[in-house]
Amino acid sequence: MKQSWILILAFFLLASCKQDFSPKPKGYNRIEIGTSEFIMLPDSFPYSFEYPQNAKILKDSSWMAERYWLDIYYPKLDANIKVTYKPVNHDRSKLEEHLMDAYKLTAKHNIKAYAIDETVIELDNGMMATLMELSGEVPSQFQFHLTDSTENFLRAALYFKTATANDSLQPVIDHIKQDMMHMLNTLEWKKPNS
């Protein structure tokens, strides 16, 4: 009796193995991007710009955060633009230090980056900005920094909190890059508490 059960079980196992197996096609994340409507940053910063209404302004919570640092968080896209601000106060050595720090932070991505394309552009508001586009499986795909060379220095970098490959995120990266360019083109410097 025991042998017949083993034979029946073996028959079903062999019979089930003869079916053709075809793998399912690869699936892709569905990402709802939408369009951006912009609102002005609160007055409590020494700079102002328009940022997307669907994003949240959060205080930078890192251990090294300074007073005017912030995060522009996209809850639906799980993306974050880290904005850091440094006063220059007519000190050429401070400006050089801030510029070197910006380049060092970008260079840290060299381990995974295929390329880092640097472009200096003139913005709609007449200011000059340095854009950094990073390709490859890097945590930050787009960054910029700009300064008025006497009083202010601002840097921003896009980060995602996901393990999704950057080629799958490309439509989102392009969308947020457009938002960041809008931020740059609407940026104005002002004195604190003015």
Asked if the structure places residue 24 within a domain, the reply is no
pLDDT recorded at residue 107? 82
Asked if the structure places residue 104 within a domain, the reply is yes
Residue 132's domain comprises 38-189
* pTM above threshold 0.85: no
Q: Say whether pLDDT at 8 is over 90.
A: no
Asked if the structure places residue 19 within a domain, the reply is no
Q: Say whether pLDDT at 114 is over 60.
A: yes
Asked if the structure places residue 129 within a domain, the reply is yes
Asked if the structure places residue 3 within a domain, the reply is no
Q: What angle do CA 3, 4, 10 make, to 5 degrees?
A: 90
CATH, residue 179: 3.40.1000
Asked if the structure places residue 32 within a domain, the reply is no
Domain count of the fold of the chain: 1
pLDDT recorded at residue 50? 96
Report pLDDT digits (tens) over 49-75: 999 999 999 999 888 889 999 999 999
Of 136, 101, 98, which is closest to residue 117 (Cα–Cα)?
A: 136
pLDDT recorded at residue 194? 43
Asked if the structure places residue 138 within a domain, the reply is yes
> Taking the alpha carbons of 99, 101, 102, 107 in that order, is the dihedral positive or negative?
positive
Of 71, 89, 88, which is closest to residue 156 (Cα–Cα)?
A: 71
Asked if the structure places residue 95 within a domain, the reply is yes
